[in-house]
Amino acid sequence: MSEWGFDLARQAPYLLHTLSAFAALHLQHFSHNKDPELDDLYDHHFHSGIEMYSQALSSEIEPENVDAMFAACMLFAFLAYTAPSRGPPRDTDAIAPASTDLVWLMSQCGFLTLKTTTQCHLSTSIWHDLFAESDSQGSQLKVPMDLTSTPSAWLNLCGIDATSTDANNPYYRALHMLLLIQHIDASKPANFSPFISFPGRMRSEFMELVQQRDKVALLLLAHWLAKMCEMGQWWCDAKVRSECWAICDYLGDHASYKGGCEGQQLLIEGLLRAPMRACGYPARLV
């Protein structure tokens, strides 16, 4: 982005606004004294960028505009993580994400959607290497999950067996992706892509379960957020820790699992420990 960003922005006003919004946010984050003018600048450039970008999306995308469109798309995905978080503590009335809280998460789907729309123009794009990496990640998901190395707790909770596939089990893809990224060092910038792309690869059925506060879906989401906590990046750290905390709070408070099955609840509590540690959920509240 630093190599081509400003050259692209000169050709696309929506990208110039988006870069300016990101710059204002960056300055505000590292400022010792919060500057209201920076907040105003951010609001102006962000909303102007969104409006112009939406107009560009509604028109036919020309080959010469593809690079700028993807640059803006990625910046908007980053900016979504800076949206206000509910944040800890949540006390006894904790609730997991409702549909109105998930705009930041749904916005992560934009990259793959745009990639599909502009497929015929990608071979000459400056983002070609990024697309190739994305395709590689997608190919990994086409290989069946290795059930022999998958923790039995996950298999039991998700109802996954040898007959399960991405098409017949709403948890399958999320668990598959978690298994693929669990041993990758999220703190290295070179490894960011598989973590950032996680939400965009989820099936709509899974996202609906998250909106409905399905406990297994939330637990899977919490494990992704736990890996995001390892990144330690200024633009996402507060958001992912807060969201992870909120899910830990909700799953910790709601002791009954589907039909009050105590054995399955114990599995949830055991698998919840890693996200709790990642987001700093106090041991006294566990």
User: Could you read off the pLDDT of 158-203 as tens digits, one per residue?
Assistant: 999 999 999 999 999 999 999 999 999 999 988 888 898 899 889 9
Quick one: residue 169, left, alpha or beta (phi over 0 = left, psi -120 to 50 = alpha)? beta
Report pLDDT for 94. Answer: 46
Report pLDDT for 87. Answer: 45
Dist CA 55 CA 61 (whole Å): 11
265 class by beta-carbon count within 10 Å (0-12 exposed, 13-18 middle, 19+ buried)? middle
Q: Rounded to two decimals, what is the model's pTM? A: 0.85
Across the range 246-252, mean pLDDT stands at 90
**CA proximity to 114, closest of 13, 197, 206:** 197
SS (H, E, C) the chain: CCCCHHHHHCCCHHHHHHHHHHHHHHHHHCCCCCCHHHHHHHHHHHHHHHHHHHHHHHCCCCHHHHHHHHHHHHHHHHHHCCCCCCCCCCHHHCCCCCHHHCHHHHHHHHHHHHHHHCHHHHHHCCCHHHHHHHHHHHHHHHCCCCHHHCCHHHHHHHCCCCCCCCCCCCCHHHHHHHHHHCCCCCCCHHHHHHHHCCHHHCCHHHHHHHHCCCHHHHHHHHHHHHHHHCCCCCCCHHHHHHHHHHHHHHHHHCCCCHHHCHHHHHHHHHHCHHHHHHHCCCHHHC
Residue with tokens 């420990």: 273
pLDDT digit string, tens, across residues 9-30: 888 999 999 999 999 999 998 8
Asked if the model's pLDDT at residue 72 lies above 90, the reply is: yes
Report pLDDT for 262. Answer: 67
Dist CA 273 CA 192 (whole Å): 23
Q: How many CA atoms within 13 Å lie on the side-chain side of 215?
A: 24
Dist CA 286 CA 279 (whole Å): 12
Dist CA 118 CA 265 (whole Å): 44
Instruction: Examine residue 275 and say whether the peptide bond preceding it is cis (omega within 30 degrees of 0).
Output: no
Report pLDDT for 13. Answer: 94
Q: What is the mean pLDDT of the chain?
A: 86
**CA proximity to 118, closest of 137, 131, 108:** 131
Report pLDDT for 255. Answer: 46
Q: CB count, 10 Å around CB of 85?
A: 17
Q: CB count, 10 Å around CB of 5?
A: 17
Give the pLDDT band of residue 282 (cuts 50, 70, 90).
confident
pLDDT digit string, tens, across residues 37-63: 999 999 999 999 999 999 999 998 889
